[in-house]
């Protein structure tokens, strides 16, 4: 029998598990059609190549692949990342440093730990990625949400938040295929946010897990590609192009900050699984990453197109939804006369799961009329059937 | 050119990279004989079995092995850990919960984040494991070192530290084959520390990465095996028995605390590399873990014996060293008339690297006459030659 009285830290006492992870765990019923996940399609994993390279590593480099390694990451993979960021995105200057992290998630948490004392502020888009918001909360940071338009955060609101929050240390942005809103920040707003961050001495954390997954429209330069002043820490990941389960991401940012992130990483997990870091490097060296990414884009163009055409056919006009040019998500918004919690309840009764919009708010008690749909995980048939049920649920409330 | 002025958090500003990791990086000169590492012997990695199982996983379960998974860990592996802890060590009660972590290191950091506000206190053995001390520092915790005898911490000093530090939340102990001191805490002291922790409502973090590596003497029950009150969070690892580079460890502790650690882990890395969690599970299910561990023990009995016999033959009597019954380390202490920094400098000039004792102090500015020797990583020849050089360095200072 427990006789102790546990004194949990203030920051963790306040933190709830991610609603999405909890929904994910609840989805053990195989008859449920889930549009709730953020998983890449299993078809995006290059299994045969990874299996072959894995056997090679066990054959020729098993000791290095199973022994302790350096915190910064496998040197050859760091070079690969650096080269791709430079050549493909014009990212990285002499003052920058690139390291490997245990998924994109770790880089987000490490930056917050490195910059924020308890009670410091992180500015974020409203809505934003729940995993990042919870990482900031777990560091004891205070969140201030900035309202968004279709082309990114409201710049006036951003400046007034910067002005009125002298303890703001980080501006967290997902400018490309924003999660959950599915929108892209315009080039003008990217430039404006950069200049404001510079003016108010606030670090931009540019989170870009979906940047390689554009299947329509014109590419927009990343904020990091403009960074000649050491304003931006850029976070990327192999989760959506090679494997999510291996947990490999990367950070590129000013060396003074990234060196401190390395020290923070050292005490979190010493280093990222080294076998899979070697696997990534050899995949990049031996296989055609660009061709593989082109295949994934084709797949998601098809899946998002299918979901959109089913919505176009069956969803009443009063419901608005985004038309994504990349990434994994659609964002739907209900009219005021259809209460979102009741709609989600009716969808769940028909065995369709979605993520309610308030999950992504800086204050999750603030209600939302929106919900998020994922199209990368469900099969084509599940998309057709599930969207049909979802539309039926809306129609039942008209 | 950087125009920003970076405002690093107070806790990270104060934190220096681990001296050991830095020594490790400096050891690129292949002619240096390193007794500085804490690496397991590569001979302890069951390469052939891991290679075969890895191919099996790619063949029959690639989707699950490459996709996102749950934060708590692969369910089958959690069951394996739970069963081994219960059957082998009498660890785990109804109120406990077992999860998988990204190495033992992550569990240590997660517990501190879960329990400590900035400015709260962690009590630790003096000297203690640098990776844990830095994890506590990275959470903004205050460290209080408790002096040690050959049979563990001084119990009177422990009680007076508990009494005078009302913000003490955690007592961090490595009772078995302590790193760096190489000693074992006696059963009496384990019981006394447990009762004190219960009395003062302080959680014991029992770190036991070397518990399976006893090659001499009698086993002493873990503190967790006595825990009927929810006092102890127990941390273990597969780094020393299967692979260090894969980063898989585990935590067993009161569910109320471990549930909060899961939330903290979710925002650090979502989950541990799932492929290697499956690999561990199948290794345990299909191979003979006990026979493999018996082989590792034999290897370390040989290596520690060789290092001891070389020291016995060549080291002047004024230098004292422990005679370990398990683990990876020897702890040497110089007489007052031989300044340790000068000895380590002379050893390094002869291309022998060791870790200076002050690295392991709660206050690293407090000098130490001791240094740590590792015998698991060097070859037999390196042990013979390196110990010879080390003894020559001592003799040069007599």
Closest CA to B137 of B13, B261, B233: B13
Three-state DSSP class for residue A172:
strand
Full-model pTM: 0.96
| DSSP states of A264-318 | HHHHHHSS--HHHHHHHHHHHHHS-HHHHHHHHHHHHHHHHHHHHHHHHHHS-TT
Contact B114 A67 (CB under 8 A): no
Contact A66 B115 (CB under 8 A): no
A15 inside 8 A of chain B by CB: yes
From B319's Cα to the closest Cα of chain A, the distance in A is 31
Write out residues 225-264 of B within 8 Å (CB-CB) of A: 228-231, 239, 243-247, 254, 256-257, 260, 262-264
Secondary structure of A313-379 in HEC code, one letter for each residue: HHCCCCCEECCCCECCEEEEECCCCCCHHHHHHHHHHCCEECEEHHHHCCCCCCCCCEEEEECCCCC
CB contact set of B164 (below 8 Å; sequence gap of 6+): none
B360 inside 8 A of chain A by CB: no
- B248 membership: H or E segment, kind and range: none
Chain B positions touching A27 (Cβ under 8 A) are none
Write out residues 36-55 of A within 8 Å (CB-CB) of B: 37-40, 42, 45, 47, 50-51, 54-55
The nearest alpha carbon in chain B to A22 belongs to: B70
**Distance, CA of A261 to CA of B247 (rounded, Å):** 19
**Distance, CA of B16 to CA of A259 (rounded, Å):** 10
Q: What are phi and psi of A132, to 5 degrees?
A: -75, -45
* First and final C-alpha spacing in chain B: 54
A116 inside 8 A of chain B by CB: yes
Chain B positions touching A114 (Cβ under 8 A) are 8-9, 12
Q: What are phi and psi of B23, to 5 degrees?
A: -60, -45
CB B242 within 8 A of CB B46: yes
Chain B positions touching A245 (Cβ under 8 A) are 64-69, 271, 273-275
pLDDT digits (tens, 9 = 90+) for A281-315: 999 999 999 999 999 999 999 999 999 999 999 99
Structure tokens at A91: 């990212």
Chain A positions touching B64 (Cβ under 8 A) are 245
Nearest CB to B3: which of A69, A137, A198?
A198
The nearest alpha carbon in chain B to A71 belongs to: B21
Nearest CB to A116: which of B9, B25, B256?
B9
Contact A118 B140 (CB under 8 A): yes
**Distance, CA of A69 to CA of A57 (rounded, Å):** 15
**Distance, CA of A338 to CA of A320 (rounded, Å):** 12
- A206 membership: H or E segment, kind and range: strand A203-207
- Our CA angle for A101, A57, B249, nearest 5°, is 50
Q: How crowded is residue A285: how many other Cβ atoms within 10 Å of its Cβ?
A: 12
ipTM: 0.96
From A317's Cα to the closest Cα of chain B, the distance in A is 35
Query: How many CB pairs (< 8 A) connect A and B?
Result: 289
pLDDT in tens, chain B (398 residues): 888 999 999 999 988 776 666 666 666 778 899 999 889 999 999 999 999 999 999 999 999 999 999 999 999 999 999 999 999 999 999 999 999 999 999 999 999 999 999 999 999 999 999 999 999 999 999 999 999 999 999 999 999 999 999 999 999 999 999 999 999 999 999 999 999 999 999 999 999 999 999 999 999 999 999 999 999 999 999 999 999 999 999 999 999 999 999 999 999 999 999 999 999 999 999 999 999 999 999 999 999 999 999 999 999 999 999 999 999 999 999 999 999 999 999 999 999 999 999 999 999 889 999 999 999 999 999 999 999 999 999 999 99
Nearest CB to A268: which of B51, B106, B274?
B106
Instruction: Please name the residue ranges forming H helices in chain A.
Output: 10-13, 19-26, 47-60, 62-66, 75-89, 103-115, 130-138, 155-164, 187-199, 255-269, 274-286, 289-314, 340-349, 380-395
Q: What are phi and psi of B63, to 5 degrees?
A: -60, -50
A27-49 in b/e burial notation, b at 16+ Cβ within 10 A? Answer: eeeeebbbbbbbbbbbebbbbeb
Closest CA to A130 of A34, A28, A21, A27: A21
B278 inside 8 A of chain A by CB: no
């Amino acid at each position: 029998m427990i006789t102790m009285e546990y004194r949990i830290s203030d920051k963790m006492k306040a933190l709830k598990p991610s609603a999405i992870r909890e929904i994910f765990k609840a989805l053990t019923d195989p008859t449920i059609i889930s549009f709730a996940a953020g998983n890449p399609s299993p078809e995006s994993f290059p299994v045969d190549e990874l299996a072959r390279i894995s056997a090679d590593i066990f054959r020729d480099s098993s000791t290095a692949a199973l022994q302790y390694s350096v915190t910064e990451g496998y040197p050859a993979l760091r070079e690969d990342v650096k080269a791709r960021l430079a050549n493909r995105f014009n990212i990285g200057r002499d003052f920058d440093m690139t390291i490997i992290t245990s998924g994109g998630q770790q880089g987000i948490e490490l930056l917050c730990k490195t910059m924020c004392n308890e009670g410091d502020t992180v500015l974020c888009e409203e809505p934003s990625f729940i995993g990042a918001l919870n990482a900031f909360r777990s560091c004891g940071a205070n969140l201030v949400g900035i309202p968004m338009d279709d082309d990114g955060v409201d710049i006036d609101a951003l400046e007034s938040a910067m002005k009125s929050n002298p303890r703001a240390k980080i501006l967290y942005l997902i400018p490309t295929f924003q999660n959950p809103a599915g929108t892209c920040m315009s080039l003008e707003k990217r430039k404006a946010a950069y200049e404001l961050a510079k003016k108010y001495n606030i670090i931009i954390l540019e989170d870009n897990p979906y940047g390689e997954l554009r299947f329509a429209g014109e590419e927009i330069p990343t904020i990091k590609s403009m960074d000649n002043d050491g304003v931006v820490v850029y976070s990327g990941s192999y989760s959506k192009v090679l494997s999510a389960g291996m947990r490999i991401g990367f950070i590129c940012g000013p060396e003074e900050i990234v060196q401190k992130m390395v020290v923070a990483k050292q005490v979190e997990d010493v280093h990222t699984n080294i076998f899979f870091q070697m696997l990534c490097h050899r995949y990049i060296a031996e296989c055609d990453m660009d061709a593989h990414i082109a295949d994934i884009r084709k797949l998601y163009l098809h899946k998002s197109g299918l979901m959109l055409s089913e919505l176009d056919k069956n969803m009443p006009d009063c419901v608005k939804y985004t038309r994504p040019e990349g990434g994994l998500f659609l964002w739907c918004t209900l009219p005021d006369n259809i209460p979102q919690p009741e709609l989600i309840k009716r969808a769940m009764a028909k065995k369709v799961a979605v993520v309610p919009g308030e999950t992504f708010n800086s204050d999750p008690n603030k209600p939302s009329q929106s919900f998020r749909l994922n199209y990368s995980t469900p099969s084509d048939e599940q998309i057709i059937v599930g969207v049909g049920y979802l539309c039926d649920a809306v129609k039942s409330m008209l």
